[in-house]
Chains A and B, each alone.
Chain A
Amino acid sequence: MAPVIQLDHVWKTYRTADVELHAVRDVSLRIERGEFVAIMGSSGSGKSTMMNILGCLDRPSQGHYFLDGQDVSTLDRDGLADIRNQKIGFVFQGFNLLTRTSAAENVELTMMYARQSLGTKEMRRRALEALEMVGLSQRADHHPNQLSGGQQQRVAIARALVNKPALLLADEPTGNLDTKTSVEIMEVFQTLNDQGITIVMVTHEHDISQYNKRCLVMRDGIVRSDAPVEGRLMASEQRKALASGGVL
């Protein structure tokens, strides 16, 4: 079976008037099905560019990117849009839910842009199913401003999952959340990963990367280290510890 992500000598170069900036330099990488990978690095390390390429929001300047076995490095704008819709689920730091739109409708948004359209009822059924997976089926009709940060992020995760993508891509998913809520969100990710979903997340918090299975560290556009996480944290245990009054 093809790996979920395969990067072959990928470069991303930005050209300004007279300066060439290599945001990503010659990165080759494989991520298999069921992995849970953290990409770490300080700002300017190229991790955001990496994220944009992995998320098909941007194309590599050189090299090839195979997503779920398909070479996506040559697709046009609309082709990339279809790939994002079908194969990638996005979770952002700022949640990026549509305001004044209910949780269920936010989840339905992904299905509305699918090339084969589903009926209204089927979309609602799948949206509720996805919200159920993140434990928010009771809040389907709430608007984002009626939900806490953690709940909003769960809606965003449900939205990312609803088209059953090959890859869940999270960009600083706990960046706007307090410790307790962060642990809860990481528990959601770990549960989803246990169900076989491949997850890649970008974070600059070392603590958060400890919940993952594998950790890449980037610096100056190259992958400096790539190693399994030792002494992996389990979010469910952490949450119990917090609930009984402990401090992490």
Chain B
Amino acid sequence: MTPLATFNLALRALQRNKMRSTLTMLGIVIGVGAVVAMVGIGNGAKSQVEAQIATLGQNVILIFPGSFATSGVQSGSGGAGTLKLEDAKAIEEEVPDVLAVSPGTRISSQLGYGNQNWATSVSGESPEYFEIRQWEIVAGAGFTEQDVRSAAKVAVIGATVERQLFGEEDAVGQIMRVRNVPFQVIGILKAKGTSVMGSDQDDVVIVPYTTVMKRLSGTTNLRMISVQCASEDRTAAVVQNITDLMRQRHRLGPDRENDFMVRSQQEIAEMATATSRVLRLLLGAIASVSLIVGGIGIMNIMLVSVTERTREIGIRIALGAHGADILSQFLIEAVTLSSLGGVLGILIGLGTSTLLSRFAGWPTLTSVDAIVVAFLFSAAVGVFFGLYPAKKAAALDPIDALRYE
């Protein structure tokens, strides 16, 4: 019998029991639909996190102050005040493959402009900070080395601050108050959106670090040092060199823990994606279980079908069907069921993720790979769970089968 004739035969057998075929397919439809939707949601979340991590900048290494102990009392992390301006300078001068360094300090402050006011954080950084974080200035300009040397009262503001404080007004050139010190707005940053941690990155005012130290806070402790590394594959070496340098500078003996933390962008990315990966694995596992349940449904129905059609099988064998003919007839029926269910499931999965992104605002990203894999997997489910019933049919004895009532 030709494969096409066998396929026709299988389709007609399925059409004869429309209700049963549909219900049997449903298991696979739900399974594949779930897989496709889950992968869409998972990929969407992953690409969103990746986009957020890209807003950190390029090949960025961040150094934070750690905890330190005085007479057995440990400060919390970041509470140490162990990071000094001199550390930043030493990193810039002594560690190879470092392109740029920005010593970061920060205060919280109420901003004022006219009768508007807004509470936010004011960060002190070097002019290289905008380069390190790949942060474009859309209006006006950034500050310069000269501004740093003179601790100039100039500020670059984020999109949120601009909106809250100036509204429709042109902010560049205006004077705003920071802790009642007048600052001139000289530039506006391009909006970056939410950070990996979920905070608004655009709710920020950036001024020269010297200005914060001398005019606002009075401390030279750093909250963070941002470092740009020459290339991604040098990152690990640079992290190691910075760690060695810092331990040496802080005079930490071999038995002492670091009083600072060094994090590369990759590490931050890995931490951020780890949770979403676990989530995706979990969802994938649930979806696979439903596919297997669907497969068992197919097997069950195929077994019923073989029993019901024992006489038909007997007739076919008596008329000259080989075992292989009967086997392929029932196998193709099972595979048709499962792959048809797979196609429907893919459509439903795509529909679900489209609806979720449109109405719930979830970022979804459907990949062709996932669709192809889902389809092949559903077909494989048909083969796997259809094989046993088909073998049973092919092994029937024609004499008994013809006598079967």
Q: How far is the CB of A68 from chain B (nearest CB, A)?
A: 15
Query: Which residues of B, 300-321, contact A by the 8 Å Cβ criterion?
Result: 311-312, 314-321
Among B1, B311, B314, B318, find the residue whose CB has the most chain A CB atoms closer than 10 A: B318
Query: Which residue on chain B has the smallest CB distance to residue A171?
Result: B402
Query: Which residue on chain B has the smallest CB distance to residue A95?
Result: B315
Is the Cβ of B315 less than 8 Å from the Cβ of A113? no
Chain B residues near A84 (CB-CB < 8 A): 318-320
Q: Is the interface of B mostly helix, strand, loop or mixed?
A: helix
Q: For the complex, is A90 an interface residue (Cβ under 8 Å from B)? A: yes
Query: Which residues of B, 272-304, contact A by the 8 Å Cβ criterion?
Result: none
How many Å lie between the Cα of A109 and that of B8 in the bound state?
A: 13
Is the Cβ of B323 less than 8 Å from the Cβ of A110? no
Chain B residues near A92 (CB-CB < 8 A): 402
Residue of A77, A90, A97 near B318 (CB, 8 A) is A90
Is the Cβ of A98 less than 8 Å from the Cβ of B319? no
Among B5, B16, B311, B319, find the residue whose CB has the most chain A CB atoms closer than 10 A: B319
How many Å lie between the Cα of A25 and that of B290 in the bound state?
A: 58
Q: How far is the CB of B133 from chain A (nearest CB, A)?
A: 70
Size class of A's contact patch? 20 to 34
Residue of A52, A113, A117 near B316 (CB, 8 A) is A113
Q: How far is the CB of A52 from chain B (nearest CB, A)?
A: 6
Q: How far is the CB of A101 from chain B (nearest CB, A)?
A: 8
How many Å lie between the Cα of A114 and that of B323 in the bound state?
A: 14
Q: How far is the CB of A152 from chain B (nearest CB, A)?
A: 13
Among B2, B314, B321, B323, find the residue whose CB has the most chain A CB atoms closer than 10 A: B321
Residue of B311, B319, B398, B399 near A113 (CB, 8 A) is B319
Q: How far is the CB of B308 from chain A (nearest CB, A)?
A: 11
How many Å lie between the Cα of A55 and that of B315 in the bound state?
A: 13
Is the Cβ of A86 less than 8 Å from the Cβ of B2? no
How many Å lie between the Cα of A248 and that of B402 in the bound state?
A: 33
Q: For the complex, is A220 an interface residue (Cβ under 8 Å from B)? A: no
Chain A 49-81: CB-based contact to B (< 8 A → 1; otherwise 0): 000100101100000000000000000011001
Known contacts A57-B398, A92-B402, A96-B402; is A117 also within 8 Å of B315 by CB?
no
Chain B residues near A98 (CB-CB < 8 A): 312, 315
Chain A residues near B2 (CB-CB < 8 A): 117
Is the Cβ of A81 less than 8 Å from the Cβ of B322? yes
Is the Cβ of B312 less than 8 Å from the Cβ of A57? no
Chain B residues near A113 (CB-CB < 8 A): 1, 316, 319-322, 325
Known contacts A84-B318, A96-B315; is A58 also within 8 Å of B323 by CB?
no
Chain A residues near B5 (CB-CB < 8 A): 112
Is the Cβ of A96 less than 8 Å from the Cβ of B311? yes
Query: Which residue on chain B has the smallest CB distance to residue A51?
Result: B399
Chain B 310-352: CB-based contact to A (< 8 A → 1; otherwise 0): 0110111111111111000000000000000000000000000
Q: For the complex, is A100 an interface residue (Cβ under 8 Å from B)? A: yes
Chain B 386-405: CB-based contact to A (< 8 A → 1; otherwise 0): 00000000000011001000
Chain A residues near B315 (CB-CB < 8 A): 96-98, 109
Chain B residues near A57 (CB-CB < 8 A): 318, 398-399
How many Å lie between the Cα of A96 and that of B311 in the bound state?
A: 8
Is the Cβ of A114 less than 8 Å from the Cβ of B320? yes
Q: For the complex, is A82 an interface residue (Cβ under 8 Å from B)? A: yes
Is the Cβ of B16 less than 8 Å from the Cβ of A81? no
How many Å lie between the Cα of A81 and that of B327 in the bound state?
A: 15
Q: How far is the CB of A223 from chain B (nearest CB, A)?
A: 21
**18 A–B contact pairs at CB < 8 A?**
A52-B399, A57-B318, A57-B398, A57-B399, A58-B399, A81-B322, A84-B319, A85-B320, A90-B319, A92-B402, A96-B314, A98-B312, A98-B315, A109-B315, A109-B319, A110-B320, A113-B319, A159-B319
